[in-house]
């Protein structure tokens, strides 16, 4: 049990480190806005599942991206094509997930916004 609790503490330290990153804070802020919109529009349970999954995916990938950036910086401070490629690939994963989250967000929220506008 002690090992499990230590693992949880290390994971929380990792999240605290992630919160120090500008991109993570921006994405977390956007997530809070989406959560507020979901509450305002009283979206369905299934829609909540879609929204929460996308938020978790984007934030998780940002943590992985930051981890890889830190690891690359630990290995070498010099510019190297492979180091740049690793960072670019990790950032690309965040962009893909963020883009899909936006598309799914439009699919979920558009009918609610349209109803308010009309």
CATH of the domain at 26: 1.10.287.3610
Percent of the chain scoring above 70 in pLDDT: 99
Statement: residue 1 has pLDDT above 90:
no
Specify binding-site residues.
10, 62, 69, 78-80, 87-88
CA dihedral 29, 32, 38, 42 (to 10 degrees): -150
pLDDT band of 2, cuts 50, 70, 90? confident
Percent of the chain scoring above 90 in pLDDT: 94
Statement: residue 8 has pLDDT above 90:
yes
Residues 91-96 have a mean pLDDT of: 98
Q: Which residue has the tokens 């609610």?
A: 112
As a whole number of angstroms, the distance between CA 24 and CA 21 comes to 5
From 27, 51, 62, 66, the catalytic residue: 62
Q: DSSP string covering 45-95, please?
A: HHHHHHHHHHHHHHHHHHHHHHHHHHHHHHH-SS--HHHHHHHHHHHHHHH
- Give the chain's mean pLDDT: 96
Closest residue by Cα to residue 108 from 50, 35, 39, 36? 50
Task: Reply yes or no on whether 47 is catalytic.
Answer: no
Domain count, the chain: 1
> The tokens of 90 are what?
């990790």
Specify binding-site residues for ATP.
10, 69, 78-80, 87-88
Statement: residue 77 has pLDDT above 90:
no
Domain residue limits at 83: 2-117
pLDDT band of 23, cuts 50, 70, 90? very high
């Amino acid at each position: 049990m002690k090992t499990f609790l230590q693992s949880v503490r290390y994971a929380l330290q990792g999240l605290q480190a992630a919160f120090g990153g500008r991109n993570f804070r921006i994405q977390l802020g956007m997530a809070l806005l989406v959560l507020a919109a979901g509450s305002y529009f009283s979206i369905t349970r299934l829609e909540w599942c879609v929204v929460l999954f996308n938020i978790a995916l984007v934030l998780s990938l940002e943590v992985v991206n930051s981890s890889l950036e830190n690891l690359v910086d630990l290995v070498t401070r010099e510019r190297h094509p492979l180091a740049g490629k690793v960072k670019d690939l990790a950032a690309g994963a965040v962009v893909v997930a963020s883009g899909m989250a936006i598309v799914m967000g439009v699919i979920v929220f558009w009918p609610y916004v349209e109803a308010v506008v009309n």
